[in-house]
Each structure stands twice: as structure tokens, then as C-alpha cells.
A and B are shown apart, each in its own frame.
Chain A
Amino acid sequence: MRDNKLKYILVLPAIIVVFATAVWPLIESLRLSFTVGRLTKPNFPQGYLGWENYTWAFMEEPAFWNSVEVTVLYTLITVILTTLIALGLAMLLAPGGRLRGGVQTLLILPFAMSPALIGVSFRFMFNPEFGLFDAFFGVVIPPLAEISWLSDPTLAFVVCVMADVWGWIPFLTLVLIGGLASIPQDTIEAAQVDGASSWRVFKDITLPQLVPVLAVVLILKAIFSLKTFDQIYMLTNGGPGTATQTLSHYIYFSGMKYGQIGYSASVAWVMVIPMILLTFLYARYVFQKR
């Protein structure tokens, strides 16, 4: 068989699978968002609805706006915190050696842990009666033991952020260590000989050369923060009230719990748009590399 035919035959199955499992549902969601109406309205289902589902979300549902707010805040905080801590940790661990290498290996563990399980373990640790947090800090700072973490809207959000940061730091750290390793060592040594202090070496030489990797890390983390679901579901299930209800969680609830398929499809599409932007940013970095 000639190569120029074979090469398309080889990609065909993969393209079919990707279309069937990702592209089709994406388009089908869009169709649902324009055609499947509310359960509570008469003559359901009806044909083309226009923007009805969208205007409903934007105009009539404070819960939608609440979840937008939660998601944006959650994304901002987790992206910044995770990246900063991971950068610090990467700088600490990058030199290698036995201790540092060992800790690098340990970092793989949290990352192989299912996010749902991370949610569970944090719920466990912050349990007000017998969580680890109380056991540990309650002894040192007694007032802390009194706090019922997951029933307070702000603190529940804080715990969600902690769980997210805990789960993602290892991965970002490992990526950044890879990025640091790709910086030519002699540029750093040249700066040391040129007279730069450790801080200036970092600021003038290391950081600027790390920017491409840092950008990828930021974009990736933003994408994954935006779609957070598993942890939240297991940790607070969006509560107390809707204090930690992210967009994904809101979509799940309105679609599955309340059966508003068309409506949740439209909210889902609202969420897809920033994703597409971020993805293209990411793709640009990936392809720029070659």
C-alpha cells in the first residue's frame, strides 16, 4: 500500500473516536441548549428555543452567577497559590541528590491519587470532632479546635482551595523542575561569576528563562481549576449552601438532580468558551516549541 493512502488510514480510527467521544457531544450539547426547554414550562419539549436557556441563566438564576463567582475566585486563588508554592518547591528540589531526589519521587504519590479520594481525605482531616487538623492544631492553639471548618462558608472554601493546592502542587513542581533543568547551567554560573547574588541570579537569569514553562503551567492549571468537580463533590458537595458550588458542580446539579438537561447544556457552553481561549493559548505554546 502506498504511504499517502496508508497515512490517512492510520489516523482514521483515532479521529473517529475523538469525534464520537468529544466533538459530537460538544456539538450535541450546543443543540440541546437551544432545543430542550425547562421541565417546569408547559409543552415540553419544544423545537427551537432560541436563547431562552441562556437568558434564563443570565437573567433569572442567581445560583448561576454565584457559581461563576465561586469558580472565578477559586481559579484565581488556586492558580496563583499553586504556581507560587510549586515554583518555590521546584527551586528547593531542583539541585537533586539523595534527599531531594527522594522527595521528588514522593511527589508522584499525591498526583496518582484520585481527586475524589483527595476530597474525602480532606473532609476527614477537617472533621470538627476527630479530624487530624483538630487533633494537631487544637493542642497547640485550642481555639482552632472549636472551629467547624466545613460548616462555615468561607472556611469551607478555604479547605477546598487547600485540597486543590495540595493535589496539584506535586505535578506543577515536577513540571517546573523539568523546566529548571532545561535552563543551561552555565548561564547561571556565568551570572554568579559576573557578581550576581542568589536573588539576582534568580530574578535576572532563572526566572526569565523559565517564562515559557511557567506560561504552560499557568494555562494548564487554569484549565483544570475551571473544571474542578470531583474534589468539591466529595469534600463539600457545593456547600454549605452554595458557598463552594463551582460551575461544573452547578451544571451537574441542574442537569442530573433537577433534570434540566437543556438548561445545564447552555451553562456548560458558557463555560466552554473561556476553555477554548485557554486551549488555543496552550496550543500556541506547544506548537511554538517545534
Chain B
Amino acid sequence: MTGKQRKQFWNVIQITLILIAAFIMLIPIIWIFLAAFKTHVDVYQLKLFFTPTLENFGTVFDAPYNLGNKLINSTIVAGVTVLFAIPIATCAAYSFSRFRLRFETSMLVMILATQFVPAVVIILPFFVMFRDLGLLDTRLGLIMVNLAIVMPFAIWMIKGFIDGIPLETEEAAMVDGSTRVQVIRNIVLPMAAPGLFTAGIFCFIIAWNEFLFALILTNKDAVTLPIGLALFKAEEGDLWNLLSAAGIIIMLPMFILALIIRKYFVQGMTMGAVR
């Protein structure tokens, strides 16, 4: 074989492998999508071809499942978490990016480190405290602990974006007579806006998918969507068609959000470690 033929041969193998990989990546998602549109009977008969029905999506919002409540809880908890996290993180990120602070490295490492502390460790004291304060099973309590996982992401990510804004623009504005606060409001915030938006979406996804905190801290009123999945365990086994419909309601909005910010997705996740 000549070099070129070998190259073509490899190319065919590569494309085959890529297609197989793509297929494997999609199977579980497709499987859920299919099941969500099947009737109860069809699910248990393993049908690949079936008459699709929207019935499941109606059922999950009815009693006794009331997925609507969970949807509202998830939206409020994730949304409010982001509304708190982003402004606070932006201030800190600006300061870390533009000034030399005492203990700057220590603070940054600490913030980074909290990201890696196992959630089970954090949640025990909160559980005890919330039990005493009556905050168990409230959205407020959930929002407070969610800040713990979202803040480090937000700070590091936004810092990365602000690092990318050229210093000269700011200095020019200062020379022209702006105060620091004006510079932040008129120059930095507009320029960092896409970054803040990206970080916001990112944090929203994390808070939306959060599981352990909600599992421990809620049981009725403040239950979020991922925990809601447990509702579909019945005496006779799991109700897969309903589980799948709920699964779609959980994952579809996140897919859309993730695709909107896909350019920054990886960068955000590694928090500037790999660039």
C-alpha cells in the first residue's frame, strides 16, 4: 500500500470509530426519549416501533406526581442562586484580576479547594443547623447551600473573562477622568457581559442538576426535579415511561442552555486550568 492508500484506509477506520462513539454517547439519551413517548404497555414490550403518545407528559404533571411544583422549585432555586452568585462573584473576580491583594493566592486556592470538598461533608452541619432553625424543606435553605457549589465556579470563570479584557481600555477611561467605580460600571461590565451571561448559565445548570443537598434537605415542599425522579417508583416497580418523561423535562432545558454557551463550556469547567 502506498502512503496515501494507508491514510485513506485509516480515515475510514477513524470515521467508523467516531460514528460508533457518537452512537454510544447518544444511546442512553435516545432510549429515554423513546420511552417518554411510549405507553405503559409499549415500554414493557421493548418495542422499537410504536405509536408515540404525549400522555406521559400530562400524567407527570397531575396528582399524585405534581411535577409542576418541582419544576417551579428547581427554577426558583437555581435562578435565585445565580442571581446572588453572579454579582458577588463579579466583584471578587474583578478585584482578583486587576489588583494585587494580600493573601491573593491563598484566597484563590481556598476558593478553588472548596469546589472539591465532598458535598456530604458540607451538608452535615447544614442539616443540623437547618433542623434547629426550621429551614429544612425550604427553598431558602437550598439556595444557601447551593451557593457553596456555585460560587467557586463563578469566581474563577468570571476572573478568566475579565483577565481577557485589555487593561488599556480601562486605563484610557481613567486618564479621561472616570473613577474606578465608573470604570467598572461603564467599561468592564459591558465588556464582560457575554462572560457573565455564560457564567450565569453555567451556574444555573449546576444548581439545576444538584442532587445530594436537595435529597437531604427537602422532603415535600421544596423538592426539586432530580429528587422528583424518585416519585416514580411504584409498588410494582419503576414507572419507566413516566420517569423518562420527567427525565426529558429535566435534561432538555439544560441541553439547550449548554448548547448556547458551548464555546466556553470546557473552559468554564476547568476554571482556566487548561487553555
Q: Contact string, A8-35, partner B, CB cutoff 8 A, digits 1/0? A: 1011011101100111111011001000
Closest B residue, CB atoms, query A269: B121
Q: Is residue B101 contacting chain A, with contact meaning CB distance below 8 A? A: yes
- Report A255-275 residues with CB < 8 Å from chain B CB: 255-256, 261, 264-265, 268-269, 271-272, 275
Complex: how many Å from CA A248 to CA B152?
21
Within 8 A of A (CB), among B220-275: 226, 229, 238, 240, 243-244, 247, 250-251, 254-255, 257-259, 262, 265-267, 269-275
Whether the pair B94, A10 counts as a contact (CB closer than 8 A) is: yes
Name the interface residues of A187-233: CB closer than 8 Å to any CB of B. 198, 213, 216-217, 220, 223, 226-227, 229-230, 233
Bound complex: CA of A113 vs CA of B98, how far in Å?
A: 35
Q: Of B15, B45, B99, B120, which one neighbours A248 at CB under 8 angstroms?
A: B120
Given that A25-B124, A112-B251 are contacting pairs, would A124 and B270 also be in contact in the complex, using a CB cutoff of 8 Å? Answer: no
A115 at interface by CB-CB < 8 Å = yes
Task: Classify the secondary structure of B's interface with A.
Answer: helix
| B151 lies within 8 A of chain A by Cβ | yes
| Residue ID in chain A nearest B152 by CB atoms | A18
- The proximity string for B residues 80-106 relative to A, scoring 1 for CB distances below 8 Å and 0 otherwise, is 000000001101101110110100010
B69 proximal to A (CB < 8 A): no
Query: Is the CB–CB distance between B18 and A234 below 8 Å?
Result: no
Name the contact of A268 in the complex, choosing from B120, B179, B244 (C-beta under 8 A).
Answer: B120
Tell me whether A92 and B14 are in contact in the complex, defined as CB-CB below 8 angstroms, given that A108-B262, A227-B118 are known contacts: yes
| Residue B147 at the chain A interface, CB threshold 8 Å | yes
Say if the beta carbon of A110 comes within 8 Å of chain B. yes
A289 at interface (Cβ–Cβ under 8 A)?
yes
Given A14-B88, A23-B110, A276-B113, A92–B269 Cβ distance below 8 Å? no
Q: Say yes or no: B120 contacts A125, CB within 8 Å.
A: no
Q: Shortest CB–CB separation between residue B23 and chain A, in angstroms? A: 10
Give chain A's interface residue range (CB within 8 Å of chain B): 35 or more
- Among B244, B265, B270, the one with the most A-chain Cβ atoms within 10 Å of its Cβ is B270
**Does A118 lie at the interface of the complex (its beta carbon under 8 Å from any beta carbon of B)?**
yes
1/0 contact string of A39-72 vs chain B (CB within 8 Å): 0000000000000000000000000000000000
Q: In the complex, A125→B240 CA distance in Å?
A: 10
When chains A and B are docked, how far (Å) is the Cα of A272 from the Cα of B120?
10
Q: Verify A109–B124 contact, CB threshold 8 A.
A: no
B17 interface residue per 8 A CB criterion: yes
Chain A residues 147 to 188 lying within 8 A of chain B, measured CB to CB, are 166, 169-171, 174-175, 178-179, 182
Query: Is B144 interfacial (CB-CB < 8 Å)?
Result: yes
- How far apart sit A22 and B122, CA to CA, in the bound complex (Å)? 6
The distance from the CB of B127 to the nearest CB of chain A, in whole angstroms, is: 8
Which residues of chain B come closer than 8 Å to A255, judged between CB atoms? Answer: 120, 124, 127
Main secondary structure of the interface of A (DSSP, over half): helix
Summed over the interface, the residue pairs from A and B with CB atoms below 8 Å come to a total of: 280
**Of B92, B205, B209, B243, which one neighbours A13 at CB under 8 angstroms?**
B92
User: Which of B99, B127, B265 makes the CB contact (< 8 A) with A174?
Assistant: B265
Q: Do A166 and B28 touch (CB < 8 A)? A: yes
Docked-complex contact A13 and B88, CB < 8 angstroms: yes
Contacts of A268 in B (CB 8 A): 118, 120-121, 124
Give the complex CA separation of A39 and B121 in angstroms.
Answer: 20
Compute how far the CA of A198 lies from the CA of B9 in the bound complex, rounded to whole angstroms: 14
Given contact pairs A166-B28, A283-B112, A286-B273, a sample of 12 additional A-B residue pairs in the complex whose CB atoms are under 8 Å apart:
A1-B179, A13-B92, A14-B92, A21-B114, A22-B114, A25-B124, A32-B125, A105-B262, A112-B251, A117-B247, A230-B226, A251-B118
* 20 intermolecular pairs with C-beta atoms under 8 Å apart: A7-B98, A18-B148, A22-B152, A23-B114, A110-B25, A112-B255, A117-B251, A118-B28, A125-B28, A129-B44, A130-B240, A171-B269, A182-B275, A233-B211, A261-B127, A265-B121, A265-B124, A268-B118, A268-B120, A271-B120
- Which residues of B does A touch, CB under 8 Å? 10, 14-15, 17-18, 21-22, 24-29, 31-32, 35, 43-46, 48, 88-89, 91-92, 94-96, 98-99, 101, 105, 107-114, 116-128, 144-145, 147-148, 151-152, 155, 179-181, 205, 208-209, 211-212, 215-216, 226, 229, 238, 240, 243-244, 247, 250-251, 254-255, 257-259, 262, 265-267, 269-275
